[in-house]
Amino acid sequence: MTMIETTYRDALRLALTETMRADENVIIMGEEVGRYGGAYGVTKGLIEEFGEDRVIDTPISEPAIIGSAVGAAMAGLRPVAELMYVDFIGMTMDQLANQAAKIRYMFGGQIGVPMVLRTQGGTGRSAGAQHSQSLEAYVMHTPGLRLAMPSTVEDAYHLLRQALMQPDPVVFIEHKGLYTMKGTLDTDAEPAAWGKARVMREGADLVIVSYSRQIHHALAAADTLASEDGIQAAVIDLRTLNPLDFDTIRPLVEQAGRAMVVSEGVMTSGVAAELAARITEECFDFLEDPVVRVAGEDIPISVSPLLEQNSVPTPELITEAVRMMLK
């Protein structure tokens, strides 16, 4: 057993390092991934170990970064293309949604595109409207793309290692607010299977379904509710949004009869909307209350820390929402 105290950022780097050591076809390409070490430091030091042919600093050309990763994946490499901010995904959408996502299908199953698009999103650094978004719904709305969003140090490592074994393109969205988070990582532990959600907290009164950084807000809210209100909320971390593990959600919601979905992305037509619709359809006969969405406000993100923090769900808002539901 190899237990290490590490951070979300270092766990990501460890996953990349180990995978690159084991498979010389794995390459990293993106803006500032080499000499600079990555905008958030995830790829620091990798160019020294693996060289410029495998850790490739690119021009500022997001469409061609993703597009060339598509071609490299088709021609036998396993590229990790880094998009510095998920906010830039619109630049790449043709290569991602029209090419990477559809190649296996359009070509009748002849070939897949085993690439990982690593990026990060979310609020927390006063980075403004174009560097703080949660755009996972764009990805989830496109069949053919897998989508992983780790919330813990363990998943930063294990989910990224698993993403690098997938036969299909994976969009891997980290949260910029989690990079310095500390945690214990057991690199030898059998990780939760790819595509399986994880019950982070048991609770009989309601089920909170969430992912990425909002897991921590949901857990904080659940602690407050337990100590101050005697309410027991279960918290499910989806880990991957595609595949989506409804089998873990269903029995818990049927048991509790109440469900809440928490997401940092804006509410309208978002991931929370999809999850709420599914829970309503699948668990209708068991529900005591409407399935509630606690999601990002339908507004852009401000630079002002006060406005920014209140644009997305806070532990306080989640706590209040549960109290309103159960009063």
Partner 1 sequence: MMNALNEAAVKNSNLADLYYQMRRVRTFEERVGELFVRGQSAGSMLHLSIGEESAAVGVCANMRDGDTFTTHHRGHGIFLARGADPARMMAEIAGKEAGYCHGKGGSMHIADMGLGHLGANAIVGGGIPAVVGAGLAARNRKTGGVSLAFFGDGATGQGILYESMNMAALWKLPVMFVCINNQYGMGTRIDQATANPRLHERAEAFGLAARTVDGLAVEDVADAAAELIAGARAGQPGFLVIDCYRFYGHARKDKSPYRDDIEEAEGRKKDPVLSARNKLISSGMMDESTLDRVDAEIATEMDATIDFSIAEKEPQLNSMFRDVYAPGEPEPEPVRARLERILARE
Run of H or E residues at 253: helix 246-256
CB 103 within 8 A of CB 111: yes
Choice from 54, 176, 198, 216 touching partner 1 (CB under 8 A): 54
The 3-state DSSP class for residue 310 equals coil
Run of H or E residues at 272: helix 271-283
DSSP H helices in 43-202: 46-50, 62-74, 89-93, 103-106, 136-140, 153-163
Q: In the range 189-248, which residues lie near partner 1 by CB under 8 A?
A: 243
Numbers of helices and strands, H then E, in the chain? 12, 14
Nearer to partner 1, 280 or 310 (CB): 280
CA distances from 25 to 74, 159, 236 (A): 12, 19, 35
Output the smallest distance, CB 39 to partner 1, in A.
19
Task: Determine if 130 is a binding residue for partner 1 (CB under 8 A).
Answer: no
Choice from 99, 123, 151, 224 touching partner 1 (CB under 8 A): 99
By CB under 8 A, how many residues form the interface with partner 1?
46
Task: Determine if 53 is a binding residue for partner 1 (CB under 8 A).
Answer: yes
What are the beta bridge partners of residue 116? 80, 170
Task: Determine if 296 is a binding residue for partner 1 (CB under 8 A).
Answer: no
Nearer to partner 1, 57 or 186 (CB): 57
Choice from 44, 104, 141, 250 touching partner 1 (CB under 8 A): 104
Task: Determine if 183 is a binding residue for partner 1 (CB under 8 A).
Answer: no
Task: Determine if 255 is a binding residue for partner 1 (CB under 8 A).
Answer: no
Contacts of 111 (CB under 8 A, 6+ apart): 74, 103, 104
What positions carry a catalytic annotation? 131
Binding site for partner 1 (CB under 8 A): 25, 27, 53-54, 56, 58-59, 61, 63-64, 66-77, 79, 94-95, 98-99, 103-112, 143-144, 146, 167-168, 243, 281-282, 284
